[in-house]
Amino acid sequence: MIQVPIKEAVVVASGLLLLVLLLATCGDRGGDVASLRPLVPAQAGGWQAVDGGELYDRESIFSYIDGHAEVYLAYGMKGCLARRYTGPSGEADIALDVFEMASPADAYGVASYDRDGEPVAIGHDGRFRYGWLSFWKGAFFVSVTAESESAAARDAVLELGRSVAALITDDGATPPLVGELPPDGLDAGSVRFLHSQQILNTHLWLGEGEVLGLAPDTSAALAHYLRDGWSAHLLLVDYPDRGRAERAAAAIAGRLLAGPAGGGPALGQDGRWHGVQQRGGRLVVVIGAANDELAAALLAEASAPIGGG
């Protein structure tokens, strides 16, 4: 039996532990944006990476993205890998940004922030518009942007996107709350998932102030409906406790209905129909329905399942 002094044994064991942790981290390509860095392709089409990529955290992201970082922070961004590629003569750069979010639901949420564009079969909800490809997969939101459009740049953007999508092994799932939106008349391209009033404001303006008390521990799904030519917005919010949901219901009812929540739809000063229901931790709000029948139907259908706390 080989005798190993205790001190050396501790050093060896510590080293082995570190190695195991490192291998585990590197092997989990769906769990750490830093581990993707050495795997991301150095070229795509005629475009060549200018460096190995930069990593940004929740603080340093502000130095990279001016004025837009809070979108990612609102979805619990953990880190961002940014890599630039230079193209053939006459072609503009391509920027690759891989954001690691708090969860697959948050990656879905970021992707739902901007749903314009032509669908492409890359990752989940892949979209291409104006030289910009975006998709989500696992807990990652991936953006590939050609700073000027051309056919060659489009091909390179899509090639790079496919390569990065293949590196992400976790698939992720759509947030369950989104699945609770009534399907009849749902405009799938309008569905947003979010946790913040600021994000909601960019999609639907409910007036000044942060009336709904949205926070990282609340989840909201917003969608536009069109039934028989009549339109409305539906907002579902899950709060972790009934009290917060009640307070939000009272506040939004005061704004939209000029009265308490819980009754049927009411005609607002804007000539549209609004409705507010709260059951347990779930808030259901119909905003701007063209008629009371549509508002009542959406309230009833969305209020059927009880979610949240």
Residue from 48, 86, 103, 145 that binds other proteins (CB under 8 A)? 145
Using the rule CB under 8 A, give the single segment among 166-174, 201-209, 213-221, 244-252 that binds other proteins.
Answer: 201-209
Contact 236, 284 (CB under 8 A): yes
Spell out the alpha helix ranges (H) of 181-291: 197-203, 242-256
Distance separating the N- and C-terminal Cα atoms of the chain: 59
Q: Token pair for residue 173?
A: 């799932």
- What is the pattern of x (binds other proteins, CB under 8 A) and - over residues 42-81? -----------------------xxxx-xxx---------
Using the rule CB under 8 A, give the single segment among 151-159, 160-168, 208-216, 231-239 that binds other proteins.
Answer: 208-216
How far apart, in whole angstroms, are the C-alpha atoms of residue 21 and residue 305? 43
Among residues 186 and 204, whose Cβ is nearest to other proteins?
204
Spell out the alpha helix ranges (H) of the chain: 6-27, 33-36, 61-64, 69-73, 104-113, 151-167, 176-179, 197-203, 242-256, 292-303
| Alpha carbons within 13 A on the beta-carbon side of 158 | 16
Nearest approach, Cβ of 208 to other proteins (angstroms)? Answer: 6
Which residues are 225's β-sheet partners?
Answer: 186, 232
Nearest approach, Cβ of 154 to other proteins (angstroms)? Answer: 13
Tell which residue, 190, 189, 128, 173, has the closest CA to residue 153: 128
Per rule CB under 8 A, count of chain residues that contact other proteins: 31
Residue from 14, 198, 259, 270 that binds other proteins (CB under 8 A)? 198
134 touching other proteins, by CB under 8 A: yes
Residue at 221: amino acid letter: A
Which residues bind to other proteins, rule: CB under 8 A? 65-68, 70-72, 95, 97, 99, 114, 116, 129-132, 134, 143, 145, 147-149, 197-198, 201-203, 205, 208-210
